[in-house]
Amino acid sequence: MKRSELNKLIREAIRFVEGRGIPLPPFAHWKLEDWQNFDPNAQEIVDNMLGWDITDFGSGDFYKVGLLIFTFRNGNFNDRLKYPKMYAEKLLLVGKNQELPYHFHWSKMEDIINRGGGDLEMQVYNSRENGDFDDSDVHLTMDGVKVAVPAGGTIVLKPGQSVTLLPGQYHCWKAVNEPVMLFEVSSTNDDNVDNRFHSAKGRFPSIEEDTLPEYLIFRDYGQYIKPRT
């Protein structure tokens, strides 16, 4: 993905979300110069991968296969003493007909909540120990109601509806009718180690630096934030 595309996507995301009455925290608006003058008191943002995240999952076509994420809060897999928070909250923006590829999480339990827009169609499978799809029914909870979905079956989340996904449950989705704004409430999350994709090429995008970043995604922090001397 080109850096100019990432800049554009984040600008559009801010307008989209705040235009729907959901104000974002100050660090969502930080520009490159703000990060380069980073206050060490904000180190939790860096250590726990808060902020923007954009990926095309190695597809080369973000608008077909991709996801835009903003992480509000998160704990830390590697330093639970310093960061004892056991939960995470994310905003997920899914474009019309944009797909999220099949994956599951080794540790994370998550609620996916449709907060507005179109319908979200989600396909689910259980996983086998070798990572293949299992042919057993997938047992989910949708807004407090237990449901059994046949392997590879589809559930639909309309605005206001949610589903709880357990570790090891494969899921993929697509927004239909119009873009969808999701919220994710989950246990502590580390996308560096907690994703198992079925066939996607990778979790993080390769970036062509055709211009300077206007905003940073969390994978940029190590490159652009310099310790104060």
In this structure, of 46-50, 144-148, 187-191, 223-227, the range with the lowest mean pLDDT score is 223-227
The helix (H) or strand (E) run that includes residue 170 is strand 169-187
Which DSSP string corresponds to 144-161? TEEEEE-TT-EEEE-TT-
Whether 192 maps to a domain, the answer reads yes
Residue 155 lies in a domain: yes
**DSSP classification of residue 49:** T
Query: What is the C-alpha to C-alpha distance for residues 107 and 82, in angstroms, rounded to an integer?
Result: 20
Distance CA 144, CA 141 (A): 6
DSSP string, 51-99: EEEEE-TT-S-TTTB-EEEEEEE---SS-TTT----EEEEEEEE-BT-E
Q: How confident is the model at residue 228 (pLDDT cuts 50, 70, 90)?
A: low
Q: Report the C-alpha gap between 13 and 185 in whole angstroms.
A: 19
State the CATH number of the domain containing residue 44: 2.60.120.10
Domain of 119, in residue numbers: 3-224
Phi, psi of 13 (to 5 degrees): -65, -40
Report percent pLDDT > 90 for the chain: 91
Residue pair 138/211 in contact by the 8 Å Cβ criterion: no
Say if 206 falls within a structural domain.
yes
- Distance (Å, rounded) from C-alpha 138 to C-alpha 130? 17
Phi, psi (5° rounding) for residue 36? -70, -20
The identity of residue 73, as a single letter, is R
Q: How buried is residue 173: exposed, middle or buried, by Cβ count under 10 Å (0-12/13-18/19+)?
A: buried
148: tokens are 């059994």
Is it the case that residue 229 has pLDDT exceeding 60? no
pLDDT-derived band at 214, boundaries 50, 70, 90? very high
- 199 — pLDDT class (breaks 50, 70, 90): confident
Give the phi and the psi of residue 118 in degrees, each rounded to 5.
-90, -165
Q: What is the pLDDT of residue 130?
A: 93
Q: What is the mean pLDDT of residues 152-158?
A: 98
**Tally of domains within the chain:** 1
Q: What DSSP state is assigned to residue 19?
A: T
Percent of the chain with pLDDT over 70: 99
Does 229 map to a domain? no
Res. 7: pLDDT tops 60: yes
Cα 198 from chain centroid?
17
Output the pLDDT for position 227.
64
Q: Is the pLDDT of residue 197 over 60?
A: yes
- pLDDT band of residue 164 (cuts 50, 70, 90) is very high
* pLDDT, tens digit (0-9, with 9 covering 90-100), for 106-140: 999 999 999 999 999 999 999 999 999 999 999 99
Rounded to 5°, angle at Cα 39 from 33 and 43: 115
Q: Do 75 and 84 contact (CB within 8 A), yes or no? A: yes
What confidence tens digit (pLDDT) does each residue in 54-104 have? 999 999 999 999 999 999 999 998 999 999 999 999 999 999 999 999 999
